[in-house]
Structure 1
Amino acid sequence: MRTHELGDCTVLVTGGAGFIGSHLANALAGETDLRILDSFTTGRREQVPDGATVVEGDVRDEDALARATTGVDLIFHEAALVSVERSVENPLESHSVNVDATLALLERARALDARIVLASSAAIYGQPERAIVSESGRKLPSSPYGLEKLAVDHYARQYHDLYGLETVALRYFNVYGPGQFNSDYSGVITAFIDRALAGELISVHGDGGQTRDFVFVEDVVRANLLAATTDRVGGAYNVGTGRAISIRELAELIVDVTDSDSEIVHTDERVGDIRHSQADIGAARADLGYAPEVSLREGLERTVEWAAASNRLGESR
């Protein structure tokens, strides 16, 4: 699937200055009439591609949403409050961003008859029954964030079933890559890389035997572009690699890739931490033609290269 298939489309990316959204926007830039809606609370202006029409505003703001969506053919909804911790601390705020705003956007898409591809999350599964998680697996979210993304998932299906709206929900597993700036809520890979580059201790919770499916951001972009043109609308798909690595092994790999002398230490196990999580991507392969192309080592090498360059330039990460 190539972006030129969307060449005649007016496309909106919500959260288009954020981590995943900016990568998606850059893939679409020059090929589509591109719009970005972002509040720039966490998104970065320098990540917005040249030529995109920017609507600065909160996705919850009716006026900003109306301006951003007028005349669009396709919407990629990436704007979200992506933080389990923050959703626990402030569930009302998290719900307003992740659910209320999404429902308003679905209504705009329905009025415009625009296809919408929505970012869901593996957090909807909670503690999985099996290490390899399929789309039909049990869904018992263990946080407000997971519950909110499950609601988004259901709303997407309902809008297709009730109104004929072309929707596709993508359940992201652990996404990483260049442009993922470190914060209290960023991924473990970002944190490990930053500590390895600084030669600092790398802390692993518990015995490090917990496993995760880490997917490079370019593969996530590829899944979104495939979802934009598939005939298999109204469904939800896991987006991962179908492979998992333990957190201890991940730390060791990052030390190797960075050629660091950082020591790996173990700290207390986190209460409620999911032990194993690995995506079954069979449905995405069959229906969307999705196949991850970037190995974990290659993805880490590219992420480390970006992180090292960012540090040399003195950027706050």
Structure 2
Amino acid sequence: MKILVTGGGGFIGSQLVETLIAAGHTPIILDNFSNGRVENLPEGVTCYRRDLLSDKVEKIFKKEEPDVVMHLAAQVSVAKSLENPAEDAAVNVLGTVKLLGYCTKYGVKKFIFSSSSAVYGTTDEVLTEETIASPISFYGTSKLVSESYIKLFGTSYGLPYTILRYANVYGPRQRPDGEGGVISIFIEQLINGETPVIYGDGTQTRDFVYVEDVARANLLAIEHADNEIINIGTNSQTSINLLHSLVSSQLDTIRTPIYLGTRDGDIKHSHLANMKALDILKWEPKYDLITGLEKTVDYFRDDPKR
């Protein structure tokens, strides 16, 4: 199949592109490279450098006629969404709506959307897909609103979809700036001899899922889970304090972190149930946190661009 991957130059998107190629598909990349890197791309892959909101995006649909759209491009920073909610909504909501319109116009067979556990907001519960969504950041809100548009396009125009709600994704190519998550930030700080910073008391927890597992979930969604919302997580949670200890152990270094105040928009706990993914998507994570951290640390040690 020919598959349009928005954000295909990013840390998740580029590894998804490699997964698609290995499975025999033909990926087409749409990315403005505000977060992605050209050097992440496999040689010979068709790539369009465009903003998601550009009217030129329609020409890509007309020329390439993709069978499937995998939509990963987004404004991904919770902090930036709080600083500029209008820009966050423009990219994440309007960008998604425009893509959906092109999908219906040009006969796309399925729309696969990268959403986020940020839609759930603050709760101590294990999060299932039936948990009431109540985001506490504009970023989480923009993802939830996008989900609503996707479902309405599905019912109104017959466009099949799968919505994947990611836990905290980590792994090689994740930048410690921009789209960076706490794991890449800790690794970068410790490699550079800097003192890690933890916001809050460090008892907050996250469900960390390795990027190759996330790429495989997108691949499986081509054939499975039509018109479903699916959590993509490990059904576990790790405190930020423990995470710091694990990363420090991998790097064989000890640095006591600095603790700063809790940031606006940060949730306290995140633990995603993944039974629905196993049942409907036929997916389960292959990497535990220790194995994923080993591969991630090795990448950062060897990356000449770091």
Distance 1:40 1:33 in 2: 20
Alignment of structure 1 residues 226-265 onto 2, 5 Å = 226-230=220-224, 232-265=225-258
Name the counterpart of 1:283.
276
Work out whether residues 79 and 265 of structure 2, in 8 Å CA contact, stay in contact via their aligned partners in 1: no
Work out whether residues 223 and 239 of structure 1, in 8 Å CA contact, stay in contact via their aligned partners in 2: yes
- How far 1:34 moved relative to its partner? 2.1
- How far 1:33 moved relative to its partner? 2.4
Q: Partner amino acid for 1:42?
A: N
- How far 1:184 moved relative to its partner? 5.1
Q: Structure 2: which 5+ residue stretches go unaligned?
A: none
Work out whether residues 118 and 169 of structure 1, in 8 Å CA contact, stay in contact via their aligned partners in 2: yes
Q: Does 1:23 align with 2:18?
A: no
Work out whether residues 171 and 293 of structure 2, in 8 Å CA contact, stay in contact via their aligned partners in 1: yes
CA 1:225–1:191 in structure 2 vs 1: closer, same or farther (change >3 Å)?
A: same
State the TM-score, normalized to the length of structure 2.
0.94
- How far 1:78 moved relative to its partner? 0.6
Name the counterpart of 2:157.
163
Question: Aligned to 1:123, which of 106, 118, 122?
Answer: 118
Q: Does 1:109 align with 2:103?
A: yes
- How far 1:272 moved relative to its partner? 5.3
Stretch deviating more after TM superposition (57-66 or 234-243): 57-66
CA 1:267–1:91 in structure 2 vs 1: closer, same or farther (change >3 Å)?
A: closer
CA 1:271–1:144 in structure 2 vs 1: closer, same or farther (change >3 Å)?
A: closer
Distance 1:221 1:37 in 2: 17
CA 1:144–1:267 in structure 2 vs 1: closer, same or farther (change >3 Å)?
A: closer
- How far 1:185 moved relative to its partner? 4.6
Q: Does 1:85 align with 2:66?
A: no
CA 1:91–1:267 in structure 2 vs 1: closer, same or farther (change >3 Å)?
A: closer
Number of equivalenced pairs: 303
Distance 1:84 1:267 in 2: 17
Name the counterpart of 1:187.
181
- How far 1:204 moved relative to its partner? 2.1
- How far 1:100 moved relative to its partner? 0.6
Alignment of structure 1 residues 1-317 onto 2, 5 Å = 9-29=1-21, 31-68=24-61, 70-114=64-108, 115-128=110-123, 130-183=124-177, 185-230=179-224, 232-271=225-264, 273-310=266-303, 313=304, 315=305, 317=306
Identity value in percent: 38
SS in 2 for 1:223: helix
Work out whether residues 79 and 264 of structure 2, in 8 Å CA contact, stay in contact via their aligned partners in 1: no
Q: Partner amino acid for 1:220?
A: V
Q: Partner amino acid for 2:77?
A: S
Work out whether residues 12 and 37 of structure 1, in 8 Å CA contact, stay in contact via their aligned partners in 2: yes
State the TM-score, normalized to the length of structure 1.
0.91
Distance 1:92 1:184 in 2: 18
SS in 2 for 1:169: strand
Distance 2:234 2:261 in 1: 29
Q: Structure 1: which 5+ residue stretches go unaligned?
A: 1-8
For each residue in 1:137-161, what CA deviation from the matched residue of structure 2 results, as whole angstroms up to 9, or x when unmatched?
1211111111110011111211222
Q: Partner amino acid for 1:246?
A: S
Name the counterpart of 1:4.
none
Kindly report the root-mean-square deviation, in angstroms, between the aligned alpha carbons of the 2 structures. Answer: 1.5
Distance 1:249 1:261 in 2: 13
Q: Partner amino acid for 1:125?
A: Y
Work out whether residues 17 and 43 of structure 1, in 8 Å CA contact, stay in contact via their aligned partners in 2: yes
SS in 2 for 1:161: helix
- How far 1:300 moved relative to its partner? 0.6
CA 1:274–1:139 in structure 2 vs 1: closer, same or farther (change >3 Å)?
A: same
- How far 1:118 moved relative to its partner? 0.6
Q: Partner amino acid for 2:112?
A: V
SS in 1 for 2:56: helix
Distance 1:41 1:265 in 2: 30
